Amino acid sequence: MIGLRSYIHPQATMLTAAVLAVFYALLSLQVVRLRWRERVGLGLPTNPTSPLFRMARVHANFAEYIPLLLLMMFFLESTGANPTAVRLCGGLMIVGRVAHARGLITVRTPNPWRVVGTAMTFGLLFTFAGWIFLRELM
């Protein structure tokens, strides 16, 4: 077909999404388990040190950042970005989310896990945004 780009199989994005989907399901199950244990059907406790409050924030934070990161990763991979760099970013995304989850679950401060997870998440957001700008504007 004239004018259509060839299809690039976004393997790194698909594998990263699959791993993160399993992790998200496990986080969801933890929230459900804590809701049952604390007998909270809807809403959250007001105490930020409550295990349910913390786990719900881990779950919500994941849902806030991962869709955009995966979408940006898909854009890059499907337009022919360096496959090794895309795979590395996928691995960093997984490590960052696990570190962030561990950091939010842990009550003590300062918390290096949370700092590392947050830095990796924002680092990937800025990296993907810059990479897309460079690819599309240069």
**Residue 92 belongs to some domain of the structure:** yes
Look at residue 1 in the predicted model and tell me its pLDDT. 46
A 10 A CB-CB count for 68 gives 13
To which residue do tokens 């945004």 refer?
129
Q: How many domains does the chain have?
A: 1
Integer CA distances (angstroms), 19 to 6, 14, 16, 97, 132, in order? 27, 9, 5, 11, 24
pLDDT tens-place string over residues 55-101? 888 999 999 999 999 999 999 999 889 999 999 999 999 999 999 99
**Residue 4 belongs to some domain of the structure:** no
Q: What is the mean pLDDT of residues 103-118?
A: 85
Q: pTM for the whole thing?
A: 0.86
Q: What is the mean pLDDT of residues 105-112?
A: 79
Domain that holds residue 49: 12-137
Closest CA to 62 of 23, 120, 29, 116: 23
CATH of the domain at 98: 1.20.120.550
